[in-house]
Structure formats: structure tokens, C-alpha cells
Amino acid sequence: MTEHIVYIDLGVGGMTCDDCVVHVAEALESVPGVESASVDLASRSAVVTARPDVPSDALASAVRTTGQYNAFERRRRAASGE
């Protein structure tokens, strides 16, 4: 049983304003196992801090079910110091 935390980099499409950033972050943080989500409008990306067993499909699906945004996983990185 590991308590490791990973960073998951996502590409995010469809965001046009700061409200979008909030909506996408809320969608990502609603996924079980996600601790926090940092969403950036300019680079159209997000970094999710989560347990390693969070499936990438669950993150993408949570964002897509908003009906307005798209997300896909780019890569996972070990959180530094872990």
C-alpha cells in the first residue's frame, strides 16, 4: 500500500475565461483520489495532484461531462520528494 502522490499533466480544450478555469478545476477535483487541480487558461493545461491509481479516463471524463470542455492526459510525474 503506497501513499504516493503523482502529478498528472493534462491538456484542456474549450476554456475561454476565468470561470472556465474554475469549472474545469471543480470537475477535476470531483474525481475520487484527486487532491487538487491547478488549471491554466493561457497554456490550456492542468496539473492534477492525485493518488497514482486515479485512471486518466476518469479525469478526462469528468471534464468532458461538463459538456463544454475537453481534457486528455499528457503524462504523469512522481511528486518531488516522494
Partner 1 sequence: MSDEFDLLILGSGSTAFAAAIRAAGLGARVAMVERRTLGGTCANRGCLPSKNLIEAARIVHEAAHPRYAGLTPAEVGVDFGALVAQKDDVVREYRAKKYASVADGLTDLELLGGDATFVDSHTVQVGDRQVFGDRILIATGSRPTIPAIPGLDAISYLTSDLLDADEVGRLTELPASLAVLGGGYVAVELAQMFARLGSRVTMVARSELLSGYEPELGRILTDVFQAEGIEVLTGARVNQVRGDARGVELAIEQGGAGRDVQAARLLVTTGRTPNTDTLGLERAGFGVDDAGFVTVDAQLRTSQSHVWGAGDVIGRQHGSQMATPVGARQGRIVADNAFTDAGRRFDGSVIPRAIFTDPPIAVVGLSEAEVKSRHLPAVTATTPLAYVPRAGAVHRTTGLVKMIASTIDQRVLGVHVIGEAAPEIIHEAAMAMRFKANLADFVDLIHVYPTMSEALKIGAQAFSRDVSKLSCCAE
Which residues would be at the binding site for partner 1 (CB under 8 A)?
10-14, 44-45, 57, 60-61, 64, 70-72, 74
Shortest distance (Å) from residue 2 CB to partner 1: 26
Distance CA 72, CA 54 (A): 13
d(CA 17, CA 82): 34
Report, in Å, the least distance between residue 78 CB and partner 1: 18
Nearer to partner 1, 11 or 52 (CB): 11
Nearer to partner 1, 5 or 72 (CB): 72
Distance in Å, CB of 3 to partner 1, minimum: 29
